[in-house]
Structure 1
Amino acid sequence: MPSSRSLRSTLRQIRSELASQLFDHILPFWLAQQDPHHGGFYGSITTTPDPGAPKGLVMTARHLWTFSQAFLSRPNPAYLEAAGNAYRFLTHAFYDATHRGFFWSVHPDGAPLSRVKKLYGNAFAIYALSLYYEATGDQDALRIARETFDLVETRGRDRTHGGYYEAFTEDWSTPLPEPLGEGETPAPKTMNTHLHILEAYSAFSRIDREPTVREAMEHLIRIFRTHIASSEHLGLYFTEDWSPMGGGISFGHDIEATWLLAEAVELLYGHPLPDWFLSWIRPMVEETAQALEAHGGSLPNEQREDGSFDRARVWWVQAEAFVGFLNAYQVFGEARYLEHALTVWRFIMDHLVDREGGEWFWAVTPEGTPLAGYEKGGMWKASYHNSRACLEGMRRIDAILEEERT
């Protein structure tokens, strides 16, 4: 590690880069992708937006989260206007006034396309509505967030085996092993949905102190300890009674889970984090650190079940690695983890930032060459992962610098 003075200088420089990335590069790109005719944001963007592309629940909720959080960080009226645009489209187009909850996708004009109720998407709605309420005090946003939380708990939760079903029919009557997206394994229960329900409940717990919210978060922590994160890697797909269904290793989810779990545990039990949590989560941090070291300072997308690697350096995986290793340094105090965070950030700045077309590339090769054929924005790539990485990075670097001063 560099000297203390040199480290402070490096961290201040990276904090400046994070602010510039967020406020001068990422957010302006997305402000220009709002649909002026139908509301919300365009459903697909390559070099230009596609006005005819369907719009996704996850995409819309992520934009709502981003611009609500951006407004809380820097109260620019344009951010609040964009958040309001996403909020109106979310609650008017995706919201099911008959059966409650949110549809999975809609046509560009807001007419329902897929009426399936996927808990992953409904969790993102809770997450986004919680932040919009924080930013605006809008009581309807709070009401719908509470209603959706209650729905997930009463309909979505498996009271026999624990955890949450993956998806339901439109009227919430029948569970569906619906895959999240192309290439995903259809399964009754998945790591990804549980991780983002926990993320949503952490945000919701800041605006709703009801004991039911705390109980649900504690239940999710138990599910992770018992079934999903019972070893140094997350299990990905499960049967209804939690028998593993395989799936390989998702390095981005492993490191993302370490900091989202830390956030939830701190909200539940306070700081410092309890010893049982530190001993539980350390092996996952260490395994991801070894993967980063073995792959030259950036993370491959995944290791398949046959042992081969998808070596693409995907934007969200690197964003989560940056935040996750900053968190690991804060939690464990090991300098190597901070070095990893700084190395990943340099890879992002050198290779993933699209300095001509704006925003970040979806993926690049290990050497940093952009991979062709990917959207700049769409159902899965929105303003969320990289904006959140910038916001988390600024907050965490501020905390590290403050601790250095004291």
Structure 2
Amino acid sequence: MPVNRLARPAHHAWLDAECRRLLAFGARSALPDGGAAYLDTHGVPDPTHGVLTWITARTAHAYSLGVLLGVPGSAPVADAALAGLTGRLRDVGHGGWFHALGPDGVPDRAAGKSCYNHTFVLLAASSAALARRPGGTTLLADAADVYLARFWDDTAGRPLDTWDADFTRPDDYRGLNATMHAVEAMLAVADAVEVLDDPVEPAVGGGAAVWRNRAARAARFVVELAAVHHGRLPEHFGPDWTPDLGFHRSRPDDPFKPYGATPGHGLEWSRLLLTVEAAVGVDDALVAAAVRLFDRAVDDGWDADGAEGFVYTTDWDGTPLVRQRMHWVVAEAIAAAAALHRRTGERRYADHYAAWWDYAERHLLDRTGGSWWHELDPRNLPATTVWPGKPDVYHALQATLLPRLPLAPTLARALRSGLLAPPPKDADGRWRPA
């Protein structure tokens, strides 16, 4: 029987080294005027992409975690990213955050204001506040106000997706990708407002319990979707949240809104459902849905075309469509397997976990240029058809941290609370429940 790596201190040391390697790679992302750069394959800022809010926010989050880990050099990167979010990426005229600044520094108004961007600002602000970064607490209060005023639909129990640039008209489209990151962010906000030494307005957004309830409502919608659609999650919806299974049929490799089912999102939701359960209390339906989503993603996505790796998308019968291998899918698979093993104790998840780290080491970890290749072709060779460069370290970094932490609280609060330690073990080497 293979060794259960999840219970081995030596593996935890390997994860720590990989975490630090990733943080070192992204250290040049800090921009002198505020914000974070999109990085090329060598970790050099690529100015042709301008300054993207989601990259900047994910960088602020990642390097706030670096501060909480005590990794030297993390604070300047986190602070530069935060300066972009509190400065030139903020729309002072209409509120919220621009999607991006172009290479010429002009705000991109055509893209409108997206929930995807704003949830990452929420996440970044939560982590920065917990890491005691200057301006983090104020940014958290501001981001929460914008999110609740513009994106959270309390009647539906999930968020709107996109507005025009002036916040005058919401788009009819509703999306599960933005909803997923909203759940992640809302759980992080709850953890932040509950424990901050110098708190934001104590009742911001109703307080920690209300934020967790919002996250749970959105998560339970996914439980329903997983049951109806046999574990293949619809990603795209109309204004009444009716699934649009034909959306973007002509754009199957869209980086954010592709046609079909996305196994990587099934894996990411699998892990998030367990985090929601750990935050709000035992819920067998959340666990059952997490298992269903995981198993479907593995059955449809892993080794689906005769080669190792997860395909990017499948049709609704599970047939592979876009066979490129994205690094973020493997990172989320690793995190989901670790979470399910922690929650259930079943050995099969530990075996998946080990196999996917082996795959990442063979094909994704770039030991010469740094970080992870963000995209591979069906032969597992580096490719750039969907994701050029190595934009940021968010997914890979979290894959090095989540297996070493309990299912709740969320990352920044767990690190601040000193929960990063080898897990307790039973005599058979299995993790005991957290």
| TM-score of the superposed pair, with normalisation by structure 1 | 0.86
Query: What does 1:185-264 align with in structure 2 at a 5 Å threshold?
Result: 188-209=173-194, 210=207, 211-227=209-225, 230-231=228-229, 232-246=231-245, 247-264=259-276
How far off its partner does 1:90 sit? 1.4
Corresponding residue of 2:313? 302
Aligned residues of 1:289 and 1:337 also touching (Cα < 8 A): no
How far off its partner does 1:120 sit? 0.8
Number of aligned residue pairs: 383
Aligned residues of 1:117 and 1:169 also touching (Cα < 8 A): yes
Task: Tell me: CA distance 1:339–1:297, structure 2 relative to 1, closer, same or farther (3 Å).
Answer: farther
Corresponding residue of 1:60? 56
- The equivalent position to 1:283 in structure 2, one of 289, 292, 300, is 292
Give the stretch that moved more between structures: 63-72 or 203-212. Answer: 203-212
Corresponding residue of 2:256? none
Q: Does 1:35 align with 2:46?
A: no
In structure 2, how many angstroms separate the alpha carbons of the residues matched to 1:322 and 1:64? Answer: 23
- The equivalent position to 1:79 in structure 2, one of 55, 74, 83, is 74
Corresponding residue of 2:401? 391
Corresponding residue of 1:352? 364
How far off its partner does 1:152 sit? 2.1
Q: Secondary structure at the match of 1:218?
A: helix
Corresponding residue of 1:7? 4
Instruction: Supply the AA of the counterpart residue of 2:321.
Output: F
Q: Secondary structure at the match of 2:119?
A: helix
Give the stretch that moved more between structures: 322-331 or 215-224. Answer: 215-224
Aligned residues of 1:68 and 1:135 also touching (Cα < 8 A): yes
Instruction: Supply the AA of the counterpart residue of 1:204.
Output: V
Task: Tell me: CA distance 1:97–1:372, structure 2 relative to 1, closer, same or farther (3 Å).
Answer: closer
How far off its partner does 1:164 sit? 1.7
In structure 1, how many angstroms separate the alpha carbons of the residues matched to 2:166 and 2:9? Answer: 51
In structure 2, how many angstroms separate the alpha carbons of the residues matched to 1:56 and 1:161? Answer: 29
Uncovered stretches (5+) of structure 2, i.e. residues with no partner: 195-206, 246-258, 408-419
Aligned residues of 2:236 and 2:244 also touching (Cα < 8 A): yes
What CA deviation, in whole Å up to 9, does each residue of 1:129-172 have, x standing for no partner? 0000000164x422332332233223223355442211112332
Query: What does 1:316-355 align with in structure 2 at a 5 Å threshold?
Result: 316-355=328-367
Corresponding residue of 1:376? 389
Corresponding residue of 1:184? none
In structure 2, how many angstroms separate the alpha carbons of the residues matched to 1:228 and 1:238? Answer: 15
Aligned residues of 1:229 and 1:235 also touching (Cα < 8 A): no
What CA deviation, in whole Å up to 9, does each residue of 1:170-214 have, x standing for no partner? 33221025xxxxxxxxxx101101000010001000022415423
How far off its partner does 1:305 sit? 4.8
Q: Secondary structure at the match of 1:149?
A: helix
Corresponding residue of 1:19? 16
More helix, by proportion: 1
Aligned residues of 2:123 and 2:189 also touching (Cα < 8 A): yes
Aligned residues of 2:366 and 2:372 also touching (Cα < 8 A): yes
Task: Tell me: CA distance 1:34–1:207, structure 2 relative to 1, closer, same or farther (3 Å).
Answer: closer
How far off its partner does 1:18 sit? 1.6
In structure 2, how many angstroms separate the alpha carbons of the residues matched to 1:65 and 1:258? Answer: 22
Q: Does 1:128 align with 2:150?
A: no
Aligned residues of 2:115 and 2:162 also touching (Cα < 8 A): yes
Q: Does 1:113 align with 2:96?
A: no
What CA deviation, in whole Å up to 9, does each residue of 1:229-270 have, x standing for no partner? 75412211001111111132111100110111211221122x
How far off its partner does 1:69 sit? 0.8
In structure 1, how many angstroms separate the alpha carbons of the residues matched to 2:238 and 2:139? Answer: 30
Q: Does 1:402 align with 2:424?
A: yes
Task: Tell me: CA distance 1:153–1:372, structure 2 relative to 1, closer, same or farther (3 Å).
Answer: closer
Aligned residues of 1:44 and 1:53 also touching (Cα < 8 A): no
Query: What does 1:127-166 align with in structure 2 at a 5 Å threshold?
Result: 127-136=123-132, 138=134, 140-166=135-161
Corresponding residue of 2:251? none
Q: Secondary structure at the match of 1:260?
A: helix
In structure 2, how many angstroms separate the alpha carbons of the residues matched to 1:63 and 1:376? Answer: 16
Q: What RMSD, in angstroms, separates the aligned Cα atoms of the two structures?
A: 2.6
How far off its partner does 1:364 sit? 1.9
Q: Percent identity?
A: 24
What CA deviation, in whole Å up to 9, does each residue of 1:8-61 have, x standing for no partner? 6983343232222221x211111123334x333323524543334311111000
Task: Tell me: CA distance 1:265–1:84, structure 2 relative to 1, closer, same or farther (3 Å).
Answer: same
In structure 2, how many angstroms separate the alpha carbons of the residues matched to 1:64 and 1:165? Answer: 24
Task: Tell me: CA distance 1:399–1:83, structure 2 relative to 1, closer, same or farther (3 Å).
Answer: closer
Instruction: Supply the AA of the counterpart residue of 1:265.
Output: E
